[in-house]
């Protein structure tokens, strides 16, 4: 049987954030990259779903490139609420101008990665403008290839009050769902931002908030403020074979 195509997903490295709860962001990303390096199967590409840096600085992005670059595979990034579009764009050679939204689609062998930028500068919550959604619809219409849609703010509801104030608002989820409903080849929608593995659905497709590399958040459905802790980093691997996609999540309890 043919080997699957593997897309690794790293999220929320927050490089440049000061050490908290006894852990360092750089060491966490290093541990994730090392663990990905130990996966015996070839990884086709790495997707980093935002909050790559804490302060959006050139130095933090250069460090991200250096650390993740050790895997020797193409790296695809998108902005989170801690990122700076213009600096991220310049650092990773992303097409487009300055601080324009970072939306793109790329063919990765048998898999298409379609990125839509959910970052709103100066805000923690996510959203899009109308033009983005129209272009996104066009990108999905352009190819019937199995696709993963990626953004920082996962379009789901957590029922944790503090998180639901800073995720994708219901109206934004609805318009996104209406677009995705028209494109049956979308196999999954993936994001980060929550610093917890969270799974839901949108337009009948799975939605995954991938594990973070830095400072997971504890489950607490009554708390007004989420609590992070120095828990282990993790990553996800999306495996596509033919038309079938499955996602594995790895938490580095030995990191």
Interface with Fe ion (CB under 5 A): 12, 51, 80-81, 193
Q: How far apart are CA 66 and CA 51, in angstroms?
A: 16
Q: Which residues pair with 115 in a beta bridge?
A: 104, 150
CB of 130 to Fe ion, least distance (A): 23
Nearer to Fe ion, 12 or 84 (CB): 12
Task: Give 51 or 117: the residue with its C-beta nearer to Fe ion.
Answer: 51
Nearer to Fe ion among residue 65 and residue 125 (C-beta): 125
Question: How, if at all, do strands 111-115 and 147-150 pair?
Answer: parallel
180 in Cβ contact with 206 (< 8 Å)? no
- Residue 12 or 103 having the CB closest to Fe ion: 12
Rounded to whole angstroms, the Cα distance separating 63 from 2 reads 35
CB of 177 to Fe ion, least distance (A): 21
Task: Quote the least distance from Cβ 12 to Fe ion, whole Å.
Answer: 4
Q: How far apart are CA 161 and CA 222, in angstroms?
A: 7
- In degrees rounded to 5, what are phi and psi of residue 56? 70, 30
Distance CA 30, CA 67 (A): 6
Which is nearer to Fe ion, 53 or 91 (by Cβ)? 53
Q: How many CB atoms neighbour CB 96 within 10 A? A: 13
**Minimal distance, residue 240 CB to Fe ion, in Å:** 26
The string of DSSP letters for 9-40 reads: EE----BTPPPBTTB-HHHHHHHHHHHHHT-S
Question: Given the complex with Fe ion, which of 187 and 193 has the nearer CB atom?
Answer: 193
Is the Cβ of residue 103 or residue 139 nearer to Fe ion in the bound state? 103
For residues 94 and 104, is the Cβ–Cβ distance under 8 A?
Answer: yes
User: Least distance to Fe ion from the beta carbon of 119, Å?
Assistant: 9
CB of 202 to Fe ion, least distance (A): 18
Tokens 């048998």: give the residue. 110
Question: Could you tell me the smallest distance in angstroms from the CB atom of residue 126 to Fe ion?
Answer: 9
How is residue 93 annotated by DSSP? T
Alpha-carbon distances, residue 149 vs 96, 176, 190 (angstroms):
19, 11, 6
């Amino acid at each position: 049987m043919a080997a699957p195509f593997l897309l690794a997903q790293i999220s929320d490295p927050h490089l440049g954030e000061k050490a908290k709860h006894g852990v360092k962001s750089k060491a966490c990303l290093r541990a994730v990259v090392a663990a990905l390096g130990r996966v015996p199967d070839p990884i086709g590409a790495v997707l980093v779903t935002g909050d790559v840096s804490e302060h959006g600085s050139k130095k933090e992005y250069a460090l991200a490139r250096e650390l993740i670059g050790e895997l020797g595979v193409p790296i695809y990034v998108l902005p989170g609420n801690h990122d700076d579009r213009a600096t991220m764009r310049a650092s990773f050679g992303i097409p487009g101008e300055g601080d324009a939204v970072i939306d793109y689609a790329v063919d990765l062998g048998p898999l298409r990665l379609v990125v839509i930028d959910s970052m709103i500068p100066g805000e923690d919550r996510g959203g899009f403008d109308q033009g983005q959604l129209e272009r996104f619809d066009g990108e999905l219409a352009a190819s019937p290839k199995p696709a993963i849609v990626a953004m920082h703010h996962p379009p789901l509801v957590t029922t944790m009050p503090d998180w639901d104030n800073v995720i994708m608002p219901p109206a934004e989820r609805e318009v996104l769902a209406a677009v995705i409903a028209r494109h049956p080849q979308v196999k999954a929608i993936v994001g980060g931002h929550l610093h917890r593995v969270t799974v839901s659905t949108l337009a009948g497709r799975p939605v995954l908030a991938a594990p973070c590399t830095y400072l997971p958040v504890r489950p607490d459905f009554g708390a007004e403020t989420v609590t992070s802790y120095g828990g282990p980093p993790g990553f996800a691997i999306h495996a596509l074979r033919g038309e079938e996609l499955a996602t594995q999540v790895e938490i580095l309890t030995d990191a």
